[in-house]
Structure 1
Amino acid sequence: MQAGDTIMALSSGSLPAGVAVIRLSGPLVQASLAAIAGGVPTPRKLALRHIGSERRLDQGLVVFFPAPHSFTGEDCAELHVHGSVAAVKAILAALEQQGLRLAEAGEFTRRAFENGKLDLVSVEGLGDLLNADTEKQRQQALARYDGRLTREIEQWREALLDLRAEIEARLDFSDEGDVAEDLPPEWLRELAELESAIATALASVDSGRIVREGIRVALAGAPNTGKSSLLNALAKSDIAIVSDEAGTTRDVRETPLDIAGQLFILLDLAGLRATDSRAEAEGVRRAQDAIAGADIVLWLKAPDVEEAERPATAAQVLTIGTKADLGMMDDVDLTLSVYNGSGLDILIDKLAALGEALAGGEPALVSHERDRTSLTDALAALIEAREALGDWELAAESLRLASSALERLIGRLDAEHILDRLFSSFCIGK
């Protein structure tokens, strides 16, 4: 990436399409519009223009966003043209002749960050929004992108500045009579409130992660209890191979499923049993690892199959009696049959309720591992500050470390080492 370049990219979907959107950003935007679009339109108003310089390449709508009031903070424009492969290639070639170059992945968003239009938390929210598959993911990502988490962090930083000011006063003016030796009573109360707020946010990271990454549901049990059949029934597609031959499934198959706006990742696993087959034994080991890492385990039992030894897990476990059309079973939470569909709606309702309990009513704003690390560091520093009271230098340093942890979270400190990885995950043109 070269600062000062003017970049361009196809920002819409793959071609051919009904409409293609070409984005531009940088100092040559206005000159390029003058050269190939008949001039610079009135800012933020779509104008119908012929596209091309020496010859007409297409006809489309052109909109101009002047700096600094644009997505990137630079002069920006969009060309809304027909989604023809030939037309888009010709327009990009004409823009290249004007000195523009193709943008790299995430370069528009990186420029927005570097020009102060977005902070790192909002950038991550935008990335989550682009990848959102479910309603809860959309709600969570949009709230983060809109700055709700950033505003909370700013309030914490302001509170820290007030706390630090009291400590710094005792360091700098300890020999002056107008600075009391003891901290005011409200100082400890404000510190406790800040600790509580950050601890509450930290406790919600797991529920936020569940919304963003999905609830992992392991379909587990002995071979031939109907795991793959249940996966196919829930997904309403023949995704998994179904056979009465034990050991057919030997790897972990992941299938996403939207239930009540929440993403569930169904894990079809190898049947658990002792085996002399090295390949099947590896499948059993992977199944056990998946069960250990699952949020919910559906433990399947069937009337015509001996139950496997159930592994220990910290996950929520639902015991499902399958093949209800062959016979009913005791000691189960519910019974179902994929053959006639009975019980499937009840299972989906139970999964929705468990998902609501795991994810919480309103999706948590903190959901990334980076959030957990920064909030953990900030909270630990606050506790150290409280324990160091009386030694003003140590207390001041601990409060400074807490501020630094929050500043890293929004990208004001030490952001460079994660930027390349973060922005490379964006699509070209974003």
Structure 2
Amino acid sequence: MAWTLGCVNVIGLVLAHMWVAHRRSLMSAAGIIDSDGRHDTIVAPATAQAPAGVAVVRLSGPRALQIGAKIGDRDSHDLSHGQMRFGHLHGADGPIDEGYVVAFHAPRSFTTEHVVEIHCHGATAVVRAICDAAVHWGARPAKAGEFTRRAWLGGRLDLVQAEALLDLISADSDRARQQALAHLDGRLSSELGSIRTPLLSVLADLEARLDFATEQDVDDLNRDQLCADLSSLVDRLQHLVQSAEAGRLRVHGLRVALYGAPNAGKSTLFNGLVGSDRALVHDQPGTTRDHVEANSVVDGFGVTWVDTAGIRETQQEVEAAGIERARQAAIASDIVIWLTDRSGPMPEMPTPPGWQSDSGPVVLAYGSHADRSAAPGTHLHHQWPAISALEATDVERIRQDIASAIRKKTQAMGDALVLTRARQARSLAMAAEHLERACQALAAQMSLELPSADVRDAIDQLDEVTGRVVPDDVLEVIFSQFCIGK
């Protein structure tokens, strides 16, 4: 119907104007523009703030070219887009260093504003002097994540891509890097857009029937077909929500806890798995009182290894506290390596709360001290694979078992799109719930006002994921995780 198509255009135009106004209010609240609409110019080191061979100081804003030219001791017209200029770098009090100045003219920059990068020697004093000079000539120090926030406000990237950039910056494994790049390339944003577009059409149709159509138009609505269309979108949303666990493992890695009785060889195995003597090893039981952590990579996934206190009955308050922490560390882990001394009495498998649920950790059990003979009056038990934490081949075997467990936990998703943030999963789950309620209202022959409201709420949840509409407190949480200068 012509009025339906017209309503689609009207709704799209209204949402677009709301988005522009929303972004402008956010920019004002964030201090990026003042009451007159003029932008601040910000400055910060873009590289780690530690002594290094080379450092980069970044400027962004309307005065970036002028300030960059002053520091580079040249006219701002000399700073052509994308060209690096070598020369002396100056502050208000004189020379600072030698280096390069490169300019990116708006909107062809990361932030969509004028951007200048100053490449200098990485001495802390040099970087500080350049930042001080920029502030002297009119810039202000950037807040955490402010460059990325300006890129988002300027439409360079959406909120999913901003979070992906944070993941890429902090990636410590190939899987994390690959996943971050997939989101940074816009794959997830495109998928969400392909769900949002038909929902806009549905909303336009429902609201047009409510506002402009006759009773005959309302009666002609094929509710069964509309429910089928919405159910298909619900399935896609739920599939994404179910991917959140795999996304978490890809980006943030897994926690693997070593758990068992004292002197079962946990600390020795821990040191072998991480490749260094991180945990204290001693024959005296109860040496480990608090858990020790170390990171490495297994099969492309980041792994945090956790060595825990030995589990036993004790009257010592400090050791008891360590044992309780060990139990909590095991429950919070994705995989638990349960070690028992196979040369001693046969123990029972521990069952802390959560281990028996589908969402609990995977438990891999081994009989340790395979290099020892059985103690007098006992026999070697063979229920679990025998290993020696002193043997490199056994340590590698456990590492391969961990790799297999990781693949089993993540193989269902393959290379499919996955969510990497809890907030993304929450919003999409709520969107699916709204669409399910819309279907129920349609099936029950209720007024079209009810499914229309639920479809609109579902669109709002999608928009919160991508950042079209998002609460200020959510933005603060996201961008505060970035370093200064990013």
> Which of the five TM-score ranges fits, normalised by the shorter chain?
over 0.9
Please tell me whether residue 342 in structure 1 is matched to residue 393 in structure 2.
Answer: yes
Of residues 388, 396, 402, the one that matches 2:458 is: 402
Please tell me whether residue 146 in structure 1 is matched to residue 185 in structure 2.
Answer: yes
Structure 1 stretches (4+) deviating beyond 4 angstroms?
Answer: 176-180
How far apart are residue 231 of structure 1 and its match? 0.4
Instruction: Output one character per residue of 1:361-420: Cα deviation in whole Å (capped at 9) or x when no partner.
Output: 337530211012101101110110000002211111111111111111112223311222
- The equivalences for 1:20-419 within 5 A come to 20-37=55-72, 38-40=74-76, 41-52=79-90, 55-175=94-214, 177=216, 181-183=220-222, 186-312=225-351, 313=355, 314-327=360-373, 329-332=381-384, 334-360=385-411, 361-362=414-415, 364-389=417-442, 390-391=445-446, 392-419=448-475
Instruction: Output one character per residue of 1:244-288: Cα deviation in whole Å (capped at 9) or x when no partner.
Output: 111122222222221111011222112121111122222222222
Cross-structure match for 1:2? 31
How far apart are residue 342 of structure 1 and its match? 3.4
CA distance in 1, matches of 2:336, 2:133: 57
CA distance in 2, matches of 1:84, 1:297: 44
How far apart are residue 156 of structure 1 and its match? 1.0
Q: Which runs of 5+ in 2 are unaligned?
A: 1-29, 33-38, 374-379
Conserved? CA contact 1:47–1:63, under 8 Å: yes
Mean Cα deviation higher: 260-269 or 195-204: 260-269
Aligned residues: 429
Q: 1:243 to 1:306 in 2, by over 3 A?
A: farther
CA distance in 2, matches of 1:53, 1:221: 61
Cross-structure match for 2:476? 420
Structure 2 counterpart of 1:137, which letter? A
Does the residue aligned with 2:31 lie in a helix, a strand or coil? coil
CA distance in 1, matches of 2:398, 2:271: 14
CA distance in 2, matches of 1:87, 1:266: 39
Mean Cα deviation higher: 298-307 or 151-160: 298-307
Structure 1 counterpart of 2:96, which letter? L
Of residues 51, 63, 77, the one that matches 1:16 is: 51
Conserved? CA contact 1:337–1:343, under 8 Å: yes
Q: 1:139 to 1:358 in 2, by over 3 A?
A: same
Does the residue aligned with 2:434 lie in a helix, a strand or coil? helix
CA distance in 2, matches of 1:227, 1:83: 42
Does the residue aligned with 1:342 lie in a helix, a strand or coil? helix
Conserved? CA contact 2:102–2:116, under 8 Å: yes
How far apart are residue 53 of structure 1 and its match? 6.6
Does the residue aligned with 2:392 lie in a helix, a strand or coil? coil
Conserved? CA contact 2:159–2:465, under 8 Å: yes
Mean Cα deviation higher: 285-294 or 155-164: 285-294
Give the TM-score, by structure 1 length: 0.94
Instruction: Output one character per residue of 1:290-343: Cα deviation in whole Å (capped at 9) or x when no partner.
Output: 2222221111121234344423213222111211111564111x3221223232
How far apart are residue 185 of structure 1 and its match? 5.7
Structure 2 counterpart of 1:326, which letter? R
CA distance in 1, matches of 2:348, 2:147: 53
Conserved? CA contact 1:205–1:364, under 8 Å: no
CA distance in 1, matches of 2:317, 2:50: 46
Q: 1:384 to 1:178 in 2, by over 3 A?
A: closer
Conserved? CA contact 2:164–2:184, under 8 Å: yes
CA distance in 1, matches of 2:50, 2:329: 39
CA distance in 2, matches of 1:72, 1:85: 25
RMSD of aligned C-alpha atoms?
2.0
Structure 1 counterpart of 2:44, which letter? A
Conserved? CA contact 2:91–2:129, under 8 Å: no
Conserved? CA contact 1:139–1:363, under 8 Å: no
Conserved? CA contact 1:166–1:183, under 8 Å: no
Give the TM-score, by structure 2 length: 0.83
How far apart are residue 33 of structure 1 and its match? 2.8
Instruction: Output one character per residue of 1:85-129: Cα deviation in whole Å (capped at 9) or x when no partner.
Output: 333333223222211122122111122222222221111111111
Mean Cα deviation higher: 384-393 or 178-187: 178-187
Instruction: Output one character per residue of 1:39-59: Cα deviation in whole Å (capped at 9) or x when no partner.
Output: 342201222233227744322
Conserved? CA contact 2:107–2:114, under 8 Å: yes
CA distance in 2, matches of 1:39, 1:176: 70
CA distance in 1, matches of 2:348, 2:289: 18
Conserved? CA contact 2:91–2:130, under 8 Å: no
Q: 1:295 to 1:84 in 2, by over 3 A?
A: closer
Structure 1 counterpart of 2:469, which letter? L
Structure 2 counterpart of 1:367, which letter? T
Does the residue aligned with 2:86 lie in a helix, a strand or coil? strand
Instruction: Output one character per residue of 1:1-29: Cα deviation in whole Å (capped at 9) or x when no partner.
Output: 53222111111123432111110001111
Q: 1:363 to 1:168 in 2, by over 3 A?
A: closer
Q: Which runs of 5+ in 1 are unaligned?
A: none
